Structure 1
Amino acid sequence: MSAHAPTTRLTLSDLAKKKDAGEPIVMVTAYDHPSAQIVEQAGVDMVLVGDSAAMTVLGYDSTVPITVDEMLMLTKAVRRGLTRPLLVGDLPFGSYEASDELALATAQRFIKEAGVDLVKIERGGTTVDRARALVNAGIPVVGHVGLTPQTATALGGFRAQGRTAEAARAVIDDALALQDAGVSLIVVEAVPSEVTAALVPLLRIPVIGIGAGADADGQVLVFHDLLGIYDGPAAKFVKRYADVRSVSVDGVAAYAAEVRSGAYPASEHVYAMPEGEAARMRELLARPVAGL
């Protein structure tokens, strides 16, 4: 852990206290065990295993194709790397929308098989009913309003939402409905900062922003985005805190060059037999092989 990161497991009560105290909540979206270990050591508060893994890790062209089994595999890997942060599992497209029963069955798998603390579902509308059913079954839920990638096509693509007064009201109404359904916190994505500033005072629960301005109770960015690992197009709200991709390319290129030049492996990178054993090996190899 970092020198300033507590080691005790965070709870939802801790997040509520952070909101009340005006202490920003730090969330990172990560997808595997090494990333989980890094964000754990960095002292983040929450880790989301997002269905954005479809694009950043699995190479799909949207979040839609990723399956429950793929998400569970990634989420279990992250779980094994975390101790302190709360873990949120994203329920992928098609795994919860059709009915309360489907939503409950999927969420239970994430709780039982992957050990998540909360599950996340997108949009308002019928999703509010799904959220209420999950909460009534004792499963903590994260809502998600504004730009919802699973339905980005219906929203006109990956673009900011709530840019008119009417659209902003719709985003706020969705968030309020999700709060009334009992969700524990809400992610607000790609909305004007004025919308977030109006929404946060209306909610008792924490609001985590991504491209939603500084008035949110916390922020979330994708591990691969903030470290410059992902080579795809970056949204306006993404800030690069490192350039891991170029460093990685340079490192692999240097390795390839040394292999081709014969500089690697050098003597310090190879094993040696104990004294005399190499000579004995050559003697054994020189003997005729029985039957030949």
Structure 2
Amino acid sequence: MSVHREIKKVTTNVLLEMKKRGEKIAMLTAYDYTMAKIIDSAGIDVILVGDSASNVMAGHETTLPITLDQMIYHASSVVRATKRSLVIVDLPFGSYQANSKEALSSAIKIMKESGAHGVKLEGGKEVKESIERILTAGIPVMGHLGLTPQSIYKFGTYTVRAKEEEEAERLMEDAKLLEQYGCFALVLEKIPASLAQKVSESISIPVIGIGAGGGVDGQVLVTHDMLGMNHEFSPRFLRRYLNLYESMGNAFEQYIIDVKSRDFPSDKEQY
């Protein structure tokens, strides 16, 4: 693995500079120490401790069941591994929607107990108060529009959002509002590429896409998906860089064969 050039720690300001000079931002998810260490050493800009941990790590069908304390457990594992990347943590479902006071205390708890660098939450103008309150505590906030998985039961489907004129206009308006409220960046999930590019061009904060085309300022994928560990999930926007499901499966099968045939351990592999 090539050691990434020495670079000062990535901050929210570094991301703004990257957008200004047209350098794309690379972001991946991580939920544990070992994986985060590898991702960070490779030179990733942003690590998202996503509530996708609910699916990937815990096997839930949606992101809804994961708790604030579970998110903090994952986030602190990631922070301990990270030297360079900006670490952003998802505020889980139910930890900020009810009122802005709860949102603030959730965000403070994450920052205090995990050592992360900022939080991400879903929604537009309906979460205005929460965003503003979190920002008064000096905590950076990343927004999230388009397909917002915590609202999955409202949508009833994981299909592309904002294809209709009305929803597209609302999304554009929400993106501008999030910038006004003081978000340092924005994730756009599963929306038409042309709309995503328009959003990115009309606001000055970085826009990171997942299934939102190449006209935005950066990309994010779920690490387990792009490594091919999660083989049942193959949306159009996913590029698989490895097929770990298969190679890990083969390794496990070989280990079982070696143990049962007494091939492992060999003379060299014992004391």
TM-score, scaled relative to structure 2? 0.97
- Letter of the structure 2 residue corresponding to residue 265 of structure 1: P
SS in 1 for 2:143: strand
**TM-aligned CA deviation for residue 152 of structure 1:** 1.6
Instruction: Give yes or no for the alignment of 1:112 onto 2:112.
Output: yes
Partners of 2:228 and 2:5 lie apart in 1 by 24
**TM-aligned CA deviation for residue 35 of structure 1:** 0.9
CA contact (8 A) 2:10 2:85 kept: yes
SS in 2 for 1:209: strand
Indicate the residue corresponding to 2:71 in structure 1. 71
Partners of 1:5 and 1:85 lie apart in 2 by 13
Partners of 1:233 and 1:3 lie apart in 2 by 31
**TM-aligned CA deviation for residue 235 of structure 1:** 2.2
Partners of 1:73 and 1:259 lie apart in 2 by 35
Indicate the residue corresponding to 1:57 in structure 2. 57
Partners of 2:19 and 2:7 lie apart in 1 by 20
Indicate the residue corresponding to 2:262 in structure 1. 262
CA RMSD of aligned residues (A): 1.2
Partners of 1:121 and 1:241 lie apart in 2 by 28
CA contact (8 A) 1:5 1:41 kept: no
SS in 2 for 1:80: helix
**TM-aligned CA deviation for residue 191 of structure 1:** 0.3
**TM-aligned CA deviation for residue 3 of structure 1:** 3.2
Cα deviations by residue, 1:95-126 (Å, 9 ceiling, x for unpaired): 11111110011000111111111100001132
Partners of 1:157 and 1:129 lie apart in 2 by 28
Partners of 1:36 and 1:75 lie apart in 2 by 10
CA contact (8 A) 1:227 1:240 kept: yes
**TM-aligned CA deviation for residue 166 of structure 1:** 1.2
CA contact (8 A) 1:123 1:145 kept: yes
Indicate the residue corresponding to 1:280 in structure 2. none
Partners of 1:167 and 1:190 lie apart in 2 by 13
**TM-aligned CA deviation for residue 6 of structure 1:** 2.6
CA contact (8 A) 2:47 2:88 kept: yes
CA contact (8 A) 1:129 1:181 kept: no
SS in 2 for 1:188: strand
Indicate the residue corresponding to 2:80 in structure 1. 80
Instruction: Give yes or no for the alignment of 1:253 onto 2:258.
Output: no
Indicate the residue corresponding to 2:3 in structure 1. 3
TM-score, scaled relative to structure 1? 0.90
CA contact (8 A) 1:2 1:41 kept: no
Instruction: Give yes or no for the alignment of 1:220 onto 2:229.
Output: no
CA contact (8 A) 1:6 1:43 kept: no
SS in 1 for 2:13: helix
**TM-aligned CA deviation for residue 156 of structure 1:** 3.0
Q: How many residues are aligned here? A: 271
CA contact (8 A) 1:5 1:42 kept: no
Partners of 1:82 and 1:162 lie apart in 2 by 35
Indicate the residue corresponding to 1:136 in structure 2. 136
**TM-aligned CA deviation for residue 233 of structure 1:** 2.2
Indicate the residue corresponding to 2:167 in structure 1. 167
- Greater displacement, 84-93 / 33-42: 33-42
**TM-aligned CA deviation for residue 243 of structure 1:** 0.8
- Letter of the structure 2 residue corresponding to residue 69 of structure 1: D
**TM-aligned CA deviation for residue 10 of structure 1:** 1.2
Equivalent residues in 2 for 1:152-191 (5 A)?
Answer: 152-191=152-191
Cα deviations by residue, 1:35-65 (Å, 9 ceiling, x for unpaired): 1011111111000000001011111111000
Cα deviations by residue, 1:194-242 (Å, 9 ceiling, x for unpaired): 1112111111100000100101100000110110112332322111011
Partners of 1:26 and 1:110 lie apart in 2 by 23
- Letter of the structure 2 residue corresponding to residue 237 of structure 1: F
Partners of 1:265 and 1:141 lie apart in 2 by 51
Structure 2 gaps, min length 5: none
Task: State, as a whole percentage, how many aligned pairs show the same letter.
Answer: 38
Indicate the residue corresponding to 1:230 in structure 2. 230
- Letter of the structure 2 residue corresponding to residue 135 of structure 1: L
SS in 1 for 2:81: coil
SS in 2 for 1:152: helix
Partners of 2:25 and 2:90 lie apart in 1 by 19
- Letter of the structure 1 residue corresponding to residue 168 of structure 2: A
